[in-house]
Structure formats: structure tokens, C-alpha cells
Structure 1
């Protein structure tokens, strides 16, 4: 029998959409509104950023676990993610680009790290939920840290 995990978010949205709404969950309390670029007030965050943050957070956790499970030493993963929304007969979240930078001391595992960067997108639960609706691209980079000079 499979184990089921439940996550809950509560929200409020006022009749006047220029005020924006709120969302809360364990560890989350955020104001949000329609982005200014889409005709809203641009207060707090917006659903598009929240979706992107969810995809980025899941990707980072998954990549970190894959690297750790394969015993590949790294000091940090840095990530820039971008979401692209198209307005083609209605708004549509078209694609996400993840640009991870994995900081390592030894470049020996570089090719393996690049493969795991791609694999993390396929193993991430949020990416799996988006698959078929939103394209996700990964553009990894591995940076070798140099020891500080004395």
C-alpha cells in the first residue's frame, strides 16, 4: 500500500482585485496579486512566480539528493530559473529554464554532474506534475572552485 502525503494551503482573495490576496501554509505566508505586467497591481508575489519557485525548489532538492546519493562532492548549487508565459489567445505558462551551477573542488565528475542535472528535472515531483503542459529545459554549468591564494 502506498503512503499518501497531504499538503494544505489556505488563501483569501478580496472582491477588489487591486488589493491582492494572501496564501499561507506551514512555513509560508505570502501576499500575492496579478502581476503589474498583466494588468494587476503587482503587490507581493504572483502565481507565476510561485509556480516557478515551486519548480526551482523541487529541482534544487532533487539535484542535491542525487549528488549526495552518488557521493559526488560539491560545496553548493546555485540556480537561476526563468518562467516564460505566452499570450496566444489567452495566457499560458509555456516553459521553464533551469540554469544550475554546481560548485566543486575537483572537475573529475563534471560529465556525471551534467547528466545528474538533466536527470534531476525528470525525477523532480513538480516537473513531473507539469510534464506535458510546460516544457522544462536544463542548462547546467560546473564550476571548479580554486583554493584561496596565500
Structure 2
């Protein structure tokens, strides 16, 4: 089975201009970031790639919890992209994650949950698409074991 996702982008003007990106569930302005000399309106490819990777990772991790019958009270992922600009060449170098998990799972599941975090990062389709080009690094995992209410 193949899934298709549709998008349309329009951009008017030059480097300091702005445009619009529309997909089935997203409608946003786009431009080059202000830090890179652009209009800094809406979002940009760097943020969109970071958002795609982060949402793919967090959704994949939540599915792992569900499939293994573990309760996930809350899941937060802070992500940072590192883009290098050398001699006018832009290189998306890395994505870093800090993961915080609140779960009612028993504390003896800590190593399993940690394994799920790493497996989710590695098996997410966006991470797999970036493989060999962008380093994806989990910097920190915090697991808070909470009692069921």
C-alpha cells in the first residue's frame, strides 16, 4: 500500500520575499529565516524538517508504548537543529533530542522504555530518510514514573 501526500508552494520575489506552503493539513507562510538574511515570515525548510523529524519520532514512540501495553501519561520532546553555513553552503548537520516521559509503567521497565526511545528514533521513517546525511542524537532521556490516579 502506498500513501500519497500533496503539497503546493508559491513564492513571489527574491531572497527577502515570502510565500505560502499548503498541504492537506497545513497552510502557512514561508520565507528564509531572518538570521540568514531573509524576510523571517512564517516558517522555513529548516524548521519544517525539524518538525517532521520530531513529530515522526514522538508518534513512533507513542505507538511503541501502546503496542506493548505501557501507559504513557505525557511525552515531551525538545528538539534542536544544527545547520552549518560555510562558504555560502548550507548543511543540515544534526538534530538533537531531549526526551521527557511521564508514565505509570512500573519502574522496573526503565531499561525497556529507554530501549523504546532509541528504537523509535532509529525506526522513524523521517530519521531513516535522513540517514547518512543528518546525525540524529538523543542527548537526554528523563523518565518520570508516576502513580496511576
Q: Distance in 2 between matches of 1:55 and 1:85?
A: 15
2:91 is matched with: 92
Q: Distance in 2 between matches of 1:4 and 1:104?
A: 34
Contact 1:114 1:141 in 2 (8 A): no
2:78 is matched with: 80
1:127 is matched with: 127
Contact 2:8 2:21 in 1 (8 A): yes
Q: Distance in 2 between matches of 1:116 and 1:44?
A: 34
Q: Distance in 2 between matches of 1:112 and 1:67?
A: 10
Of 102-111 and 43-52, more deviation after overlay is shown by 102-111
1:12 is matched with: 10
Contact 2:17 2:38 in 1 (8 A): no
2:50 is matched with: 52
Q: If the length of structure 1 is used for normalisation, what is the TM-score?
A: 0.91
Q: What residue ranges of structure 1 are gaps of 5+ in the alignment?
A: none
Q: Distance in 2 between matches of 1:146 and 1:40?
A: 49
SS of 1:13's partner is strand
Contact 1:72 1:109 in 2 (8 A): no
Select the structure that is richer in strand: 2
State the number of aligned residues: 146
Q: Distance in 1 between matches of 2:122 and 2:2?
A: 21
1:68-119 Cα shifts (integer Å, max 9, x gaps): 1111222011110110001123110000011111101332211111110000
Q: Distance in 2 between matches of 1:146 and 1:4?
A: 41
Q: What residue ranges of structure 2 are gaps of 5+ in the alignment?
A: none
2:67 is matched with: 69
Q: If the length of structure 2 is used for normalisation, what is the TM-score?
A: 0.91
2:142 is matched with: 141
1:37-69 Cα shifts (integer Å, max 9, x gaps): 111111111110000000001001100001111
Q: Distance in 2 between matches of 1:132 and 1:23?
A: 27
